[in-house]
Amino acid sequence: MSLLQNAHTPIGAWIKLPVVESVEIMALAGFDFVVVDLEHGALDLTDVSRLVAVAAAHGLTPLVRVPDHSTTTIQRVLDAGAQGVLVPHVDTPAQAEAVVRAMRFPPRGHRGAGGTGRAGQWGLLPRDEYIRHGDTAVLCVPQLESAEAIAAAPAILAVDGVDAVFVGSADLALSLGDPGRVPALVDEALAAGAAAGKPCGLATITPEQAAGAVRRGARFLLVGNDAGMLARTASGVAGAVRKEVASDG
């Protein structure tokens, strides 16, 4: 079953640190998927290959957020075994169509055959199965991060090969210059996803935010990143210990 066809709301975490332990911890913690972050993380394609492999071995769905619309980068992360790609700043149906073409094999697209890599089980997967999986099971997820993208959401969602969309609320707020407009635009994107019958995802941090996002119609959630979780926990522990030590002094 596809990640986005689960009965429950899938929850995932961004991976920004180039260490396999982050992915292993997310699996043990009970997450459904991880998104290896090439856009904002200090990672390279070698890191992607290792992190994707560990995620798959631990039963997590490994997705990758690429830094741009580059066909070469998209193909290489798919060859590395990514089960889906999040693509930032997709503002128009034409851009969504270009992303789909980069991800799908001919005649639907122009992805090259790399069946001797991880995606093809190092050449052990039959060619027909390798092609079928790449065309039907790998998730294409454009990110909507501007007012233009939100307005075009119905058309972007209608593009054959787009499986879901993800609203980048932080960049949306930056592009608007008015964070107060973000909730209404997010609701507009969620409504477009529901109308198209395709999932729309959001990023949250707290359990209360996550529950609110699901009530509003979010179908999958990213609920923090490895570096941020470590930073918050470390800060909380250090602060609590210092407070307790000071009170004993």
Q: Which of 47, 46, 82 is nearest to 65 (CA)?
A: 82
Q: What is the 3-state secondary structure (H, E, C) of 127-190?
A: HHHHHHHHHHCCEEEEEECCHHHHHCHHHHHCCCCCCCEEECHHHHHHHHCCHHHHHHHHHHHH
Q: Where are the beta strands (DSSP E) in the chain?
A: 11-15, 33-37, 61-65, 84-87, 139-144, 165-167, 200-203, 220-225
Identified catalytic residue from 8, 40, 69, 110 = 40
pLDDT digits (tens, 9 = 90+) for 116-145: 999 999 999 999 999 999 999 999 999 999
Interhelix angle for 169-176 vs 182-196, to 10°?
Answer: 130
Q: Has 89 been annotated as catalytic?
A: no
Q: Over range 151-167, report the average pLDDT.
A: 97
Radius of gyration for the chain, computed over Cα atoms and rounded to the nearest angstrom? 19
According to DSSP, the β-strands at 200-203 and 165-167 are parallel
pLDDT of residue 204: 92
pLDDT of residue 1: 47
pLDDT digits (tens, 9 = 90+) for 192-224: 999 999 999 999 989 999 999 999 999 999 999
Hey, what CATH topology would domain 3-248 get? TIM Barrel (3.20.20)
Domain ranges of the chain: 3-248
pTM for this predicted structure? 0.94
3-class SS at 21?
A: helix
pLDDT digits (tens, 9 = 90+) for 220-247: 999 999 999 999 999 999 999 999 998 8
**Which residue, chain included where needed, has tokens 């509003």?**
216
Question: How many DSSP H helices and E strands does the chain contain?
Answer: 11, 8
- CA end-to-end span of the chain, whole Å? 57
